[in-house]
Amino acid sequence: MIIHTSEKNPWVVLIHGLGVSEKVWFNPLDERALFVSFKMLLKDEKNITPFAERLKGAYNILSWSQDKESTIDEAAAELKNISLMLNNKKFLILAHSRGGLVARRAIQLYNLKPMALICLSSPHFGSSFADLVIKHSKWLSIMMPSLKGYLTSIEELCTHSTFIKALNSEDALKKEDHVKHYDIYGNSTIYTKIWFINILGSVERVLGKKAIDEWRYGLGDGFVSVKSGVSPLTPEKNAYLLPLNHLNILIDNKTWDIVKSILTEAFNS
Protein backbone atom coordinates (compact mmCIF):
# COMPACT_ATOMS: atom_id res chain seq x y z
CA MET A 1 0.00 0.00 0.00
CA ILE A 2 1.18 3.51 -0.82
CA ILE A 3 -0.19 6.59 0.92
CA HIS A 4 1.29 9.66 -0.74
CA THR A 5 0.22 12.86 0.96
CA SER A 6 2.78 15.40 -0.22
CA GLU A 7 6.02 15.66 -2.19
CA LYS A 8 7.41 17.61 0.76
CA ASN A 9 6.78 14.80 3.25
CA PRO A 10 9.45 12.16 3.92
CA TRP A 11 8.66 8.46 3.57
CA VAL A 12 8.19 5.79 6.22
CA VAL A 13 8.47 2.16 5.07
CA LEU A 14 6.45 -0.22 7.27
CA ILE A 15 7.48 -3.90 7.51
CA HIS A 16 5.27 -6.46 9.27
CA GLY A 17 6.30 -9.65 11.02
CA LEU A 18 5.94 -13.36 10.36
CA GLY A 19 2.56 -14.92 9.57
CA VAL A 20 0.64 -11.65 9.28
CA SER A 21 0.22 -8.88 6.70
CA GLU A 22 0.43 -5.11 6.42
CA LYS A 23 -2.96 -4.98 8.16
CA VAL A 24 -1.08 -4.77 11.46
CA TRP A 25 -0.18 -1.19 10.53
CA PHE A 26 -3.51 -0.15 9.05
CA ASN A 27 -6.21 -2.15 10.84
CA PRO A 28 -4.79 -4.60 13.37
CA LEU A 29 -8.24 -5.74 14.54
CA ASP A 30 -8.74 -7.37 11.12
CA GLU A 31 -5.50 -9.34 11.38
CA ARG A 32 -5.02 -12.98 12.29
CA ALA A 33 -1.92 -15.06 13.03
CA LEU A 34 -2.59 -18.74 12.29
CA PHE A 35 -5.85 -19.37 14.17
CA VAL A 36 -5.53 -16.45 16.60
CA SER A 37 -7.45 -13.22 16.04
CA PHE A 38 -5.76 -9.95 16.95
CA LYS A 39 -9.22 -8.65 17.82
CA MET A 40 -9.37 -11.21 20.62
CA LEU A 41 -5.80 -10.62 21.79
CA LEU A 42 -6.26 -6.84 21.85
CA LYS A 43 -9.80 -6.76 23.21
CA ASP A 44 -8.73 -5.35 26.59
CA GLU A 45 -6.92 -2.38 25.02
CA LYS A 46 -8.71 0.93 25.59
CA ASN A 47 -7.19 2.80 22.66
CA ILE A 48 -6.40 1.17 19.33
CA THR A 49 -4.97 3.69 16.92
CA PRO A 50 -3.07 2.03 14.06
CA PHE A 51 0.40 3.32 13.25
CA ALA A 52 -0.64 4.30 9.74
CA GLU A 53 -3.28 6.63 11.17
CA ARG A 54 -0.69 8.28 13.39
CA LEU A 55 1.68 8.78 10.44
CA LYS A 56 -0.86 10.13 7.94
CA GLY A 57 -0.51 13.77 7.07
CA ALA A 58 3.07 14.25 8.21
CA TYR A 59 4.60 11.31 6.31
CA ASN A 60 4.15 9.36 3.12
CA ILE A 61 3.73 5.64 3.79
CA LEU A 62 4.99 2.66 1.82
CA SER A 63 4.11 -0.89 2.85
CA TRP A 64 3.40 -4.29 1.40
CA SER A 65 2.33 -7.78 2.47
CA GLN A 66 5.12 -10.31 2.24
CA ASP A 67 4.57 -13.82 0.95
CA LYS A 68 3.64 -15.57 4.20
CA GLU A 69 5.92 -18.51 3.42
CA SER A 70 8.91 -16.44 2.29
CA THR A 71 12.34 -16.69 3.85
CA ILE A 72 13.93 -13.57 5.32
CA ASP A 73 16.28 -13.24 2.35
CA GLU A 74 13.31 -13.49 -0.04
CA ALA A 75 11.44 -10.81 1.91
CA ALA A 76 14.61 -8.67 1.93
CA ALA A 77 14.69 -8.86 -1.87
CA GLU A 78 11.05 -7.73 -1.91
CA LEU A 79 12.03 -4.76 0.28
CA LYS A 80 14.87 -3.87 -2.08
CA ASN A 81 12.47 -3.84 -5.04
CA ILE A 82 9.88 -1.86 -3.08
CA SER A 83 12.49 0.73 -2.05
CA LEU A 84 13.30 1.43 -5.71
CA MET A 85 9.88 3.11 -5.95
CA LEU A 86 11.17 5.88 -3.68
CA ASN A 87 13.61 7.16 -6.31
CA ASN A 88 16.30 8.05 -3.77
CA LYS A 89 13.92 10.08 -1.58
CA LYS A 90 14.56 10.25 2.16
CA PHE A 91 12.98 7.37 4.04
CA LEU A 92 12.99 5.62 7.38
CA ILE A 93 12.12 2.01 8.12
CA LEU A 94 9.75 1.02 10.92
CA ALA A 95 9.58 -2.76 11.40
CA HIS A 96 7.82 -5.14 13.76
CA SER A 97 9.13 -8.51 14.95
CA ARG A 98 10.72 -10.52 12.10
CA GLY A 99 10.29 -7.41 9.94
CA GLY A 100 13.29 -5.91 11.71
CA LEU A 101 15.44 -8.83 10.55
CA VAL A 102 14.09 -8.41 7.01
CA ALA A 103 15.15 -4.76 7.11
CA ARG A 104 18.58 -5.51 8.53
CA ARG A 105 19.20 -8.21 5.93
CA ALA A 106 18.13 -5.93 3.07
CA ILE A 107 20.52 -3.23 4.33
CA GLN A 108 23.34 -5.78 4.49
CA LEU A 109 22.68 -7.33 1.08
CA TYR A 110 21.59 -4.31 -0.98
CA ASN A 111 23.19 -1.35 0.79
CA LEU A 112 19.87 0.34 1.51
CA LYS A 113 20.33 3.71 3.18
CA PRO A 114 17.35 4.63 5.34
CA MET A 115 17.69 7.64 7.64
CA ALA A 116 17.15 5.20 10.50
CA LEU A 117 15.82 1.75 11.31
CA ILE A 118 13.31 1.42 14.15
CA CYS A 119 12.60 -2.12 15.27
CA LEU A 120 9.63 -3.01 17.46
CA SER A 121 10.13 -6.30 19.33
CA SER A 122 12.52 -7.83 16.82
CA PRO A 123 14.34 -11.07 17.77
CA HIS A 124 17.85 -9.99 16.74
CA PHE A 125 19.41 -13.06 18.33
CA GLY A 126 16.56 -15.43 17.57
CA SER A 127 13.78 -16.76 19.78
CA SER A 128 13.63 -19.71 22.15
CA PHE A 129 9.93 -19.86 21.28
CA ALA A 130 10.98 -20.71 17.71
CA ASP A 131 13.37 -23.32 19.13
CA LEU A 132 10.44 -25.02 20.89
CA VAL A 133 8.19 -24.90 17.85
CA ILE A 134 10.81 -26.58 15.66
CA LYS A 135 11.62 -29.13 18.36
CA HIS A 136 7.96 -30.16 18.63
CA SER A 137 6.97 -29.37 15.03
CA LYS A 138 5.75 -32.90 14.26
CA TRP A 139 2.87 -32.93 16.73
CA LEU A 140 2.24 -29.18 16.51
CA SER A 141 1.69 -29.57 12.77
CA ILE A 142 -0.91 -32.25 13.46
CA MET A 143 -2.76 -29.89 15.80
CA MET A 144 -2.30 -26.88 13.47
CA PRO A 145 -1.86 -28.07 9.85
CA SER A 146 -1.38 -24.49 8.62
CA LEU A 147 1.84 -24.34 10.65
CA LYS A 148 3.62 -26.54 8.08
CA GLY A 149 3.89 -23.66 5.64
CA TYR A 150 5.77 -21.57 8.18
CA LEU A 151 8.30 -24.09 9.48
CA THR A 152 11.14 -22.99 7.19
CA SER A 153 10.59 -19.37 8.22
CA ILE A 154 10.33 -20.27 11.90
CA GLU A 155 13.53 -22.33 11.71
CA GLU A 156 15.41 -19.20 10.60
CA LEU A 157 14.34 -17.56 13.86
CA CYS A 158 15.85 -20.25 16.08
CA THR A 159 18.56 -18.96 18.39
CA HIS A 160 21.33 -21.04 16.78
CA SER A 161 20.10 -20.95 13.20
CA THR A 162 22.46 -20.42 10.29
CA PHE A 163 20.57 -17.26 9.43
CA ILE A 164 20.89 -15.65 12.88
CA LYS A 165 24.61 -16.43 12.93
CA ALA A 166 25.05 -14.90 9.45
CA LEU A 167 22.96 -11.82 10.32
CA ASN A 168 25.14 -10.99 13.31
CA SER A 169 28.50 -11.95 11.89
CA GLU A 170 31.24 -9.32 12.00
CA ASP A 171 31.30 -8.89 8.21
CA ALA A 172 27.51 -8.54 8.01
CA LEU A 173 27.36 -5.96 10.81
CA LYS A 174 29.90 -3.78 8.99
CA LYS A 175 27.50 -3.63 6.05
CA GLU A 176 24.74 -2.02 8.11
CA ASP A 177 26.68 0.17 10.52
CA HIS A 178 25.99 3.24 8.33
CA VAL A 179 22.37 3.18 9.54
CA LYS A 180 21.15 4.51 12.89
CA HIS A 181 19.52 1.67 14.80
CA TYR A 182 16.75 1.96 17.37
CA ASP A 183 14.98 -0.79 19.30
CA ILE A 184 11.71 -0.53 21.19
CA TYR A 185 10.88 -3.78 22.95
CA GLY A 186 8.67 -5.12 25.73
CA ASN A 187 8.88 -7.27 28.85
CA SER A 188 5.23 -8.08 29.54
CA THR A 189 3.69 -11.50 29.02
CA ILE A 190 0.22 -10.25 29.94
CA TYR A 191 -2.24 -10.67 27.09
CA THR A 192 -6.01 -10.65 27.14
CA LYS A 193 -7.59 -12.98 29.69
CA ILE A 194 -9.49 -15.91 28.22
CA TRP A 195 -11.93 -17.43 30.69
CA PHE A 196 -10.15 -15.37 33.35
CA ILE A 197 -6.85 -17.11 32.58
CA ASN A 198 -3.79 -15.42 31.15
CA ILE A 199 -2.27 -18.26 29.13
CA LEU A 200 1.37 -17.14 29.05
CA GLY A 201 1.22 -16.08 32.68
CA SER A 202 -0.05 -19.55 33.55
CA VAL A 203 2.88 -21.17 31.76
CA GLU A 204 5.32 -19.25 33.93
CA ARG A 205 3.42 -20.13 37.09
CA VAL A 206 3.51 -23.83 36.21
CA LEU A 207 7.08 -24.07 34.91
CA GLY A 208 8.72 -21.36 36.99
CA LYS A 209 12.36 -20.81 36.04
CA LYS A 210 12.13 -23.69 33.57
CA ALA A 211 9.96 -21.50 31.34
CA ILE A 212 11.81 -19.85 28.47
CA ASP A 213 12.59 -16.15 28.94
CA GLU A 214 10.04 -15.23 26.28
CA TRP A 215 7.28 -16.49 28.62
CA ARG A 216 8.59 -14.99 31.87
CA TYR A 217 7.28 -11.60 32.94
CA GLY A 218 10.09 -9.06 32.93
CA LEU A 219 12.25 -11.20 30.66
CA GLY A 220 10.16 -11.37 27.51
CA ASP A 221 7.05 -10.25 25.63
CA GLY A 222 5.61 -13.69 24.93
CA PHE A 223 7.53 -14.18 21.68
CA VAL A 224 10.84 -12.32 22.01
CA SER A 225 13.14 -12.19 25.04
CA VAL A 226 14.49 -8.94 26.42
CA LYS A 227 18.07 -10.05 25.74
CA SER A 228 17.21 -10.66 22.06
CA GLY A 229 15.31 -7.39 21.62
CA VAL A 230 18.31 -5.13 21.05
CA SER A 231 20.41 -5.24 17.89
CA PRO A 232 24.21 -5.47 18.28
CA LEU A 233 24.32 -2.12 16.45
CA THR A 234 21.85 -0.31 18.71
CA PRO A 235 23.56 1.92 21.29
CA GLU A 236 22.14 1.86 24.81
CA LYS A 237 20.65 5.34 24.43
CA ASN A 238 18.62 4.13 21.43
CA ALA A 239 17.11 1.10 23.20
CA TYR A 240 13.73 1.55 24.89
CA LEU A 241 12.25 -1.13 27.16
CA LEU A 242 8.50 -0.78 27.80
CA PRO A 243 6.01 -2.82 29.90
CA LEU A 244 4.30 -4.11 26.75
CA ASN A 245 3.68 -7.44 25.04
CA HIS A 246 4.50 -8.43 21.48
CA LEU A 247 1.23 -7.11 20.05
CA ASN A 248 0.17 -4.06 22.01
CA ILE A 249 3.55 -2.47 21.29
CA LEU A 250 2.00 -1.82 17.85
CA ILE A 251 -0.73 0.44 19.23
CA ASP A 252 0.58 1.81 22.52
CA ASN A 253 0.88 5.58 22.99
CA LYS A 254 4.29 5.25 24.67
CA THR A 255 5.60 3.43 21.61
CA TRP A 256 4.26 6.15 19.36
CA ASP A 257 5.80 8.95 21.45
CA ILE A 258 9.23 7.35 21.08
CA VAL A 259 8.79 6.68 17.36
CA LYS A 260 7.57 10.23 16.80
CA SER A 261 10.63 11.70 18.50
CA ILE A 262 12.94 9.49 16.41
CA LEU A 263 11.16 10.49 13.19
CA THR A 264 11.49 14.17 14.07
CA GLU A 265 15.18 13.83 14.86
CA ALA A 266 15.96 11.69 11.79
CA PHE A 267 14.32 13.94 9.24
CA ASN A 268 15.34 17.27 10.78
CA SER A 269 19.01 16.45 11.36
Whether residue 198 lies inside any domain: the answer is no
Residue 211 lies in a domain: no
Q: Please give the pLDDT value at position 195.
A: 46
Q: How far apart are CA 220 and CA 242, in angstroms?
A: 11
For residue 11, the enclosing domain spans: 2-187+227-268
Domain presence at residue 253? yes
Q: Is 213 inside any structural domain? A: no
Which domain CATH number covers 83? Answer: 3.40.50.1820
Burial label, 93 (beta-carbon count in 10 A; 0-12, 13-18, 19+): buried
Quote the pLDDT of residue 6.
75
Tell me whether residue 91 is in a domain. Answer: yes
* CB-CB contact of 77 with 54 (8 Å): no
Beta strands 2-3 and 32-33, pairing class: unpaired
pLDDT of residue 196: 46
DSSP-H helix ranges across 32-158: 38-41, 51-55, 72-83, 98-110, 128-135, 137-143, 151-156
Distance CA 159, CA 164 (A): 7
Spans in the chain with pLDDT lower than 50: 195-197
- 231-262 residue pLDDT tens: 999 999 999 999 998 988 988 899 999 999 99
Q: What is the pLDDT of residue 108?
A: 98
CA dihedral of 216, 20, 51, 37, whole degrees rounded to 10: -70
> What does the alpha-carbon distance between residue 238 and residue 160 come to, in Å, rounded to a whole number?
26
Number of domains the chain is built from: 1
pLDDT in tens, 160-188: 999 999 999 999 999 999 999 999 999 99
Cα four-point dihedral sign 36, 39, 43, 47: positive
Note the pLDDT of residue 186: 96
